[in-house]
């Protein structure tokens, strides 16, 4: 009993160490993979200066310092007029920076941030500007302040008979990571056109096609202006939709133009798979998987191009470049050895955190050739035992016949028949053995077949 318990404990320790090693080996644990942008004030007033806070996040949604300067572009789309583009840079070693902006009109503002290098996942947010104004009871520039008469300010605006609920859905244009952490931000702003807060708790309901919403219903508290919720998914969804359901009768509802979003398994690296040792006569396949932030194999999150190049000669790879559509993968290519020795294959893809990797393979004579050699010599030896004539000639004839028959099988029969016929060490040895026994008769037979062809 004690030995069984010890064995199970040892297995658990081994499994735990393997899991820990896998986590440590994840290449993007502390590397930024996406951008987040948020205003420091959710419902500012006209001419109120706010800060647009930009943060670099890792795969777990936590701030991560830039490994080099990250150049970003912020686009602010006001309710009317042209979009405003702002340049932003997050310096190396930092994870956050801020951009100042002053809204000039009331309404919804949509803000997008993108990485100029295209590696980090983009993000978007929004805020609603109220038409609030402050009034002074003295003339501008008068040192006496209250001593100089001034006409009274205009009366405050009247509350609308039917207030408006301004709804916004904010998610990056490239997609939202399907990790259960990153979210499409849902905001609902109460607006009675007079700056008043909600007269009661307003419960807002949504219907969505995938994932989950944390606040159901979303609530704008009495006296407040803003209600928020987060829409997340742990599954990749190409076109997830969200719809406003209620309330409809008591309020005007201002909905955004788009209600469809994409949840993705963000590709951050590539993982090539190939045997480290191949034979000069092999045509091995190299398989390149796309990998997410957790190290799992995933399909392409968008159209991607993968290029193979030989950094250390000795092999060729075909096709050298492949375009993978969204949802495609893995990438497969054929390697053709051309010389013995070590070869290095470089694999590159654009717009990826770790968009470059390499694999080394050792091209050798190979077990198939060695076994064919042994089989041919054994066949020549058997031919000598049978005929008792000229051992050296029988061995040479056996080598020639064994190699020719094995080559016909490997390069002629197998490619045509595919998986219908075996190709392994035993079949190579047996064919070379038969060819060795037949000797130069194999050459005569092969010559006759070729001449008829």
Residues 400-449 pLDDT 10s: 777 676 676 666 554 554 444 445 566 667 777 787 788 777 766 766 66
222's enclosing H/E stretch is none
**27-134+159-264 CATH, one of 3.50.50.60, 3.30.2320.30, 2.40.160.20, 2.60.40.1930:** 2.60.40.1930
Lowest mean pLDDT among 113-127, 263-277, 371-385: 371-385
| Residue corresponding to tokens 């091209």 | 363
Q: Are the C-beta atoms of 395 and 381 separated by less than 8 Å?
A: yes
Q: What is the mean pLDDT of residues 141-150?
A: 48
CATH number for the domain running over 269-364: 2.60.40.3450
Is omega for the bond preceding 217 within 30 degrees of 0, making it cis?
Answer: yes
pLDDT tier, 276 (very low <50, low <70, confident <90, very high otherwise): confident
Torsion of CA 266, 87, 68, 35, to 10 degrees: -30
- 5 or 255, which is more confident: 255
Report which of 31, 37, 30, 29 is spatially closest to residue 114, judged by C-alpha positions: 37
Hey, do 27-134+159-264 and 269-364 end up sharing a CATH topology, with the first three levels equal?
yes
| CA dihedral angle for residue 382, residue 383, residue 386, residue 389, rounded to 10 degrees | -120
- Rounded CA-CA distance 114/36 in Å is 10
Strands (E) in 144-221, as ranges, are 164-170, 176-177, 184-191, 202-208, 212-213, 218-220
Amino acid 112: pLDDT: 96
CB 63 within 8 A of CB 96: yes
Determine how many CB atoms are found less than 10 A away from the CB of residue 450.
Answer: 8
Residue 148 pLDDT > 60: no
Q: Per-residue confidence at 3, pLDDT binned at 50, 70, 90?
A: very low
* DSSP single-letter state for residue 117: T
Spans of all domains in the chain: 1-26, 27-134+159-264, 269-364, 367-452
Band of the pLDDT at 29, cuts 50, 70, 90? low
Predicted pLDDT of residue 272: 92
């Amino acid at each position: 009993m004690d030995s069984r318990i010890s064995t199970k404990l040892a297995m658990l320790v081994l499994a735990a160490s393997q899991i820990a090693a896998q986590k440590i080996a994840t290449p993007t644990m502390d590397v930024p993979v996406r951008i987040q942008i948020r205003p420091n004030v959710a419902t500012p007033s006209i001419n109120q200066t706010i800060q647009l806070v930009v943060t670099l996040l890792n795969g777990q949604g936590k701030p991560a310092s830039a490994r080099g300067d990250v150049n970003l572009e912020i686009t602010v789309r006001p309710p009317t007029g042209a979009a405003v583009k702002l340049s932003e840079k997050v310096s190396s070693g930092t994870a956050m920076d801020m951009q100042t902006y002053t809204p000039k009109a009331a309404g919804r503002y949509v803000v997008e941030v993108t990485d100029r290098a295209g590696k980090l996942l983009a993000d978007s947010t929004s805020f609603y500007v109220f038409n609030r104004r402050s009034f002074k009871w003295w003339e501008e520039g008068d040192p006496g302040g209250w001593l100089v008469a001034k006409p009274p300010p205009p009366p405050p605006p009247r509350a609308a008979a039917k207030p408006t609920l301004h709804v916004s859905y904010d998610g990056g244009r490239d997609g939202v990571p399907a990790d259960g952490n990153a979210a499409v931000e849902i905001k609902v702003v109460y607006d009675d056109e007079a700056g008043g807060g909600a007269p009661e708790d307003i419960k807002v309901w949504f219907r969505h096609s995938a994932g989950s919403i944390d606040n159901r219903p979303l609530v704008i508290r009495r006296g407040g202006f803003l209600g928020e919720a987060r829409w997340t998914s742990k599954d990749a969804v190409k076109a997830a939709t969200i719809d406003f359901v209620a309330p409809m009768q008591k309020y005007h509802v201002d909905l955004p133009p788009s209600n469809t979003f994409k949840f993705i398994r963000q590709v951050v690296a590539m993982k090539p798979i190939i045997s480290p040792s191949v034979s000069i006569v092999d045509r091995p396949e190299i398989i390149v998987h796309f990998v997410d932030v957790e190290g799992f194999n995933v399909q392409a999150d968008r159209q991607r191009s993968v290029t193979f190049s030989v950094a250390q000669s000795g092999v060729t790879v075909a096709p050298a470049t492949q375009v993978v559509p969204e949802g495609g993968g893995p990438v497969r290519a054929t390697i053709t050895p051309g010389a013995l020795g070590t070869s290095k294959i470089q694999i590159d893809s654009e717009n990826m955190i770790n968009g470059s990797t390499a694999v080394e393979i050792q091209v050798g004579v190979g077990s198939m050739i060695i076994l064919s050699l042994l089989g041919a010599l054994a066949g020549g030896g058997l031919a000598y035992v049978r005929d008792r004539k000229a051992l050296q000639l029988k061995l040479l004839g056996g080598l020639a016949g064994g190699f020719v028959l094995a080559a016909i099988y490997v390069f002629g029969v197998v490619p045509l028949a595919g998986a219908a016929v075996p190709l392994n060490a035993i079949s190579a040895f047996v064919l070379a053995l038969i060819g060795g026994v037949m000797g130069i008769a194999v050459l005569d037979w092969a010559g006759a077949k070729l001449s008829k062809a």
